[in-house]
Every structure is written in C-alpha cells, then in structure tokens.
Amino acid sequence: NAGVTQTPKFQVLKTGQSMTLQCAQDMNHEYMSWYRQDPGMGLRLIHYSVGAGITDQGEVPNGYNVSRSTTEDFPLRLLSAAPSQTSVYFCASSYSLPTDTQYFGPGTRLTVL
C-alpha cells in the first residue's frame, strides 16, 4: 500500500513552459486535492475532486488545470509557468470528504525561473 505518490520531487521550469505534476493514490479514496504551500502561508487549495469525472476550483485555481479520469489519478497541469507559481505542491486524498483524514504525498518543489 503506497498511499499517495507524487512525481517529480523537484522540478525547475522556465517562464512559459508547461508541465504536469502527477499524483496517484491506491486507497480507493473518492476525494483528492491539490494544495500549494508558500513561505509564511498555510496550504492553499488549488483544485479538488470528489470522484472520477468531477473536479472543482479551490481558492487559487488560476494557471492550473486538473482532470480525474480514474479514481486513482489526479494530475495537475501548469499551462504556462510563471515565477509566482514557484512553490511546494502537495497532493492529498481522503475517503470521501475534505474533513475526513487527508493523506498527503511527499510534495513537489517547483521553481520557475
């Protein structure tokens, strides 16, 4: 049981490049979410999903896209990277609700130059 996995662990992009952060869980959880963590701030919700085929915007969705074609996978796409997207990104999953215990991946540290 791997829990929540994220790849890559580190990434450096140039402004304007696009990329996909991968997230997968093997716990058959319905709820999945993407957060970003910046210095001096709490985690901020980017997008979330309550089940396969269903996604919704969180607090800071601009510049990011998500899809949920399977229960297991929830990739986050950066469409055109900007320096303001330099951050640590966490993917999480929980059984059904955001207030259920969320299990987090180890994070992806992204730098945009």
Which of 78, 92 has the CB closer to other proteins?
92
Which of 14, 39 has the CB closer to other proteins?
39
CB 90, min distance to other proteins, A: 5
Please give the residue ranges that form the binding site for other proteins (CB under 8 A). Answer: 4, 33, 35, 40-45, 48, 58-59, 90, 92, 97-99, 101-107
The answer to whether 47 and 66 are in contact (CB under 8 A) is yes
| Cα distances (Å, whole numbers) of residue 92 to 23, 24, 53, 82, 113 | 8, 9, 17, 24, 26
CB 21, min distance to other proteins, A: 13
The answer to whether 19 and 35 are in contact (CB under 8 A) is no
Which of 17, 75 has the CB closer to other proteins?
75
Rounded Cα distance between 61 and 41, Å, is: 16
